[in-house]
Amino acid sequence: MEQLLSQIINGVQVGTIYALIALGYTMVYGIVKLINFAHGDLIMVGSYVAYLSIVHYQVPFPAAFLLAMLVCGSLGVLMDRIAYKPLRARPRLYALITAMGVSLFLEHGARNLPFIGPSFRRFPDVFPTQNYVLTGSVTVTNIQLFNVAVAVALMALLQYVIKYTRVGMAMRAASQDPDAARLMGINVDRVIATTFAIGGMLAGAAGVLLAVAYPRLSPYMGIVPGLKAFVAAVFGGIGSIPGAMVGGLIMGVVETLATAVYSQVAEGVFFVILIAVLLFRPAGLLGQPTVEKA
Partner 1 sequence: MTLLELQGLSKSFGGLAAVRSASLEVNTGDLIGLIGPNGAGKTTVFNLISGFYTPTSGSIRFRGEEIGGLKAHQVANRGVARTFQNIRLFRELTILENVRIAHHPYAAYSLADSILHSRRYRDGERRLRAEALEYLATFGLQGRAETLAKNLPYGEQRRLEIARALSTRPSLLLLDEPAAGMNPQETVALMQLIEFIRERFELTIVLIEHQMRVVMGICQHILVMDFGEIIARGDPQEIQRNPRVIEAYLGQQAG
In the three-class reduction of DSSP (H, G, I as helix; E, B as strand; rest coil), residue 134 is classed as strand
Which of the stretches 36-44, 73-81, 182-190, 208-216 binds partner 1 when contact is defined by CB under 8 A?
A: 182-190
Asked if 179 touches partner 1 (CB under 8 A), the answer is: yes
Which is it for the CA torsion 67, 70, 74, 77, positive or negative?
positive
Write out the H or E segment, with its range, that includes residue 141: strand 138-141
Q: Which of 165, 262, 275, 282 binds partner 1 (CB under 8 A)?
A: 165
Phi, psi of 132 (to 5 degrees): -115, 130
x/- mask, partner 1, residues 58-97, rule CB under 8 A, reads: ----------------------------------------
Q: Which residues contact 71 (CB under 8 A, 6 or more apart)?
A: 45, 46, 49, 204
Which of the stretches 108-116, 162-170, 206-214, 243-251 binds partner 1 when contact is defined by CB under 8 A?
A: 162-170
Which of the stretches 118-126, 175-183, 209-217, 223-231 binds partner 1 when contact is defined by CB under 8 A?
A: 175-183
Asked if 188 touches partner 1 (CB under 8 A), the answer is: yes
Q: Return d(Cα 61, Cα 147) in angstroms, integer.
A: 13
Q: Which residues pair with 141 in a beta bridge?
A: 131
Q: Which residues contact 186 (CB under 8 A, 6 or more apart)?
A: 170, 173, 174
Which of the stretches 9-17, 137-145, 165-173, 208-216 binds partner 1 when contact is defined by CB under 8 A?
A: 165-173
Asked if 186 touches partner 1 (CB under 8 A), the answer is: yes
**Binding-site ranges for partner 1 (CB under 8 A):** 157, 160-161, 164-167, 169-170, 172-173, 176-177, 179-188, 288
